[in-house]
Amino acid sequence: MQRFLLLLVVLGAIFGLPSLSFADEPNLVRDFSQASPNGEFLFVLLANDTIDSYNQAGSVLHNESLRQSYPQSGLYRNDGSNTPLWTVDWNANEVIVSSDGHSLVRWGPFPVAGRFDEVALEFYRDGRLLRSYRVEDLVREPSSLPETVSHYLWLKTSNYDDTIGQLSLETETGEQYRFDLQSGAIVEASGRFADMDLVRIALLVLVISGFFVVLLKRR
């Protein structure tokens, strides 16, 4: 969706279409629900009007049906129960819920241009934050990310494998990561960021090795 918005903005800039300016306006936070892959659990988000990175406009699109059925944001059994298993008090635009009902990924907001310290994604366990990753944690050269009029895009693709509880993603600049949902830890990394770290390690090893070689020769 964000890539489509970027295309609209580019076309608007080329052809001078003022009607396309809406594509880069702040997102309105909304009420929504997200079922787990096995359908046993339902995460419900009842948005609040607090102005933050997720709710830049300070407005909320209410879903009255959700608000009448569920008392607060959190995870519920997907059987009509309105007693939460755990709750949260934040806004979100999109989440991933595991089939065991314990793990959740909250994707970061549509980030404002130049703010590379914005949250990219966060991992929660029973409503408690485990790990948080910023865009600059995952993208080595964030200034090279594609931009809209006032925002930028960092996520190229993502895939959640519920059978092993892992999330894979690729950034717009080629970094690839695999995360464990239970811990929020990175279990595999490759691409520009990871490759550069390997290069640094290799250079460090060479420098240390050379240092010891010089010492041995002096003896």
* 130 vs 201, more confident: 130
Would 175 be classed as within a structural domain? no
Would 209 be classed as within a structural domain? no
Mean of pLDDT over the chain? 85
Would 164 be classed as within a structural domain? no
Report d(CA 99, CA 87) in Å as an integer.
Answer: 17
Report d(CA 199, CA 167) in Å as an integer.
Answer: 26
Per-residue confidence (pLDDT) for residue 191, from 0 to 100: 87
- Region 54-82: what's the mean pLDDT? 95
Per-residue confidence (pLDDT) for residue 19, from 0 to 100: 35
* 196 vs 183, more confident: 183
Taking only the tens place, the pLDDT of each residue in 14-49 is 343 333 333 566 667 999 999 999 999 999 999 999
Residue 56: give the domain boundaries. 2-155
Would 205 be classed as within a structural domain? no
Q: Taking 70 as the threshold, does the pLDDT of residue 198 lie above it?
A: no
Report d(CA 100, CA 35) in Å as an integer.
Answer: 11
Would 53 be classed as within a structural domain? yes
Q: Taking 50 as the threshold, does the pLDDT of residue 11 lie above it?
A: no
Would 115 be classed as within a structural domain? yes
**156 band by pLDDT with thresholds 50, 70 and 90:** very high
- Region 101-128: what's the mean pLDDT? 96
Domain count for the chain, please give it. Answer: 1
Per-residue confidence (pLDDT) for residue 58, from 0 to 100: 84
Map the chain to HEC letters. CHHHHHHHHHHHHHHCCHHHHHHHCCCCEECEEEECCCCCEEEEECCCCCCCCCCCCCCEECCHHHHHHCCCCEEEECCCCCCCCEECCCCCCCEEECCCCCEEEEECCCCECCCCCCEEEEEEECCEEEEEEEHHHHCCCHHHCCECCCEECCEEEEEEECCCCEEEEEECCCCEEEEECCCCCEEEEECHHHHHHHHHHHHHHHHHHHHHHHHHHHC
Would 101 be classed as within a structural domain? yes
Would 46 be classed as within a structural domain? yes
- Region 48-55: what's the mean pLDDT? 90
